[in-house]
Amino acid sequence: MTRHYTLTISCPDRAGIIAAVSGFIAQHGGFIVEASYHTELEAQRFFMRQEIRADSLPFEVDELGRRFAALAEEFEMNWQLSDSKLNKRLVILVSKQDHCLDDLLHRWRSGELQVDIPCVISNHEDLRSFVEWHGIPFIHIPMQEDKTAAFEQIAALFEQHRGDTLVLARFMQILPPFLCQRYSGRIINIHHSFLPSFVGARPYHQAYQRGVKLIGATCHYVTDELDAGPIIEQDTVRIDHGDTVDDLVRYGRDIEKTVLARGLRYHVEDRVLVCGNKTIVFK
């Protein structure tokens, strides 16, 4: 993969946005590798993502940003510019279950998921050895009496390790509102049901009791309303009457892994833009 800059934009919809932005890029000789657009009709907002080859521009990413700022102001844009050379930094939260963690670490060590993982934090000791085998620091923060203090500690670690994104890889604790708000759009959870079905605890038991014929998993941004944040990715898998709750849990692990990995990749590659409680995902 050659180095590229990714420009994401959202702004009020009107004619001429694509022309203005692509004209600006072309004027500096920029070579667009990938371009995606979307208009959210109800919100009357326009969304855009462009990948530009770094070596096609005569200056660095900071200079690109400076020059773009005037145009951005004219169109009232929220915008962001990232450089593929700089990896996103993921801080991962886990409890005892390791299937999502195992999957993410494998994708990381095989080079498929191009991120840095400065540390893994857990409220249990169980997964220390596995994480440390990867050369990644493992930090144990118990969640007993004073949960607020524990979450403050997590926030401090996230800052200290300059985390971009907090990934809840089957972390079995509910995040307090102050954290959800402080890192809005930067905390990603995998929920083990096809939301909005089976919100809350023990979704596989709920699914079993209801007798559904498919179960699912949902990757979403965390907000302070439980399991109600913007959905990034979902999938389902077929079950039947012969499957016990244990079977559902087993099938579920496979889609949880896949759905989290896909959602996280979209996020890391700046493919996800949020509009109200919905996401635009430029695959």
* Contact (CB, 8 A) for 153 and 181: no
Rg (CA), the chain: 20
31 makes contact with a second copy (CB under 8 A): yes
* Contact (CB, 8 A) for 118 and 269: no
197 makes contact with a second copy (CB under 8 A): yes
135 makes contact with a second copy (CB under 8 A): no
CA distance 210 to 202: 13
The distance of closest approach from Cβ of residue 206 to a second copy in the complex, given in angstroms and rounded to an integer, is 9
CA distance 154 to 159: 9
Q: Which of 98, 103, 164, 227 is catalytic?
A: 227
Token pair belonging to 73: 């102001």
200 makes contact with a second copy (CB under 8 A): no
CA distance 279 to 36: 14
169 makes contact with a second copy (CB under 8 A): no
* 145 vs 240, beta carbon nearer a second copy: 240
* 35 vs 155, beta carbon nearer a second copy: 35
* 2 vs 160, beta carbon nearer a second copy: 2
The distance of closest approach from Cβ of residue 177 to a second copy in the complex, given in angstroms and rounded to an integer, is 21
85 makes contact with a second copy (CB under 8 A): no
* 19 vs 144, beta carbon nearer a second copy: 19
213 makes contact with a second copy (CB under 8 A): yes
26 makes contact with a second copy (CB under 8 A): yes
Buried b (16+ CB within 10 A) or exposed e, 120-138: bbbbeeebeebbeeeebeb
Count Cα neighbours of 106 within 13 Å in the Cβ-side half-sphere: 9
Token pair belonging to 63: 């200079």
216 makes contact with a second copy (CB under 8 A): yes
The distance of closest approach from Cβ of residue 30 to a second copy in the complex, given in angstroms and rounded to an integer, is 7
Residue 75 CB contacts under 8 Å (≥ 6 apart), including other chains:
11, 12, 14, 17, 20
3-state secondary structure of 24: helix
Residue 246 designated active-site: no
Bridge partners, residue 81, by sequence: 7
Q: Which residues are known to be catalytic?
A: 227
Residues lying near a second copy in the complex (CB under 8 A): 15-16, 18-20, 22-23, 25-27, 29-35, 37-41, 56, 98-99, 102-103, 106, 110, 112, 130, 133, 194-198, 210-214, 216, 230-236, 240-242, 244, 250, 253-254, 258, 261, 277-281, 283
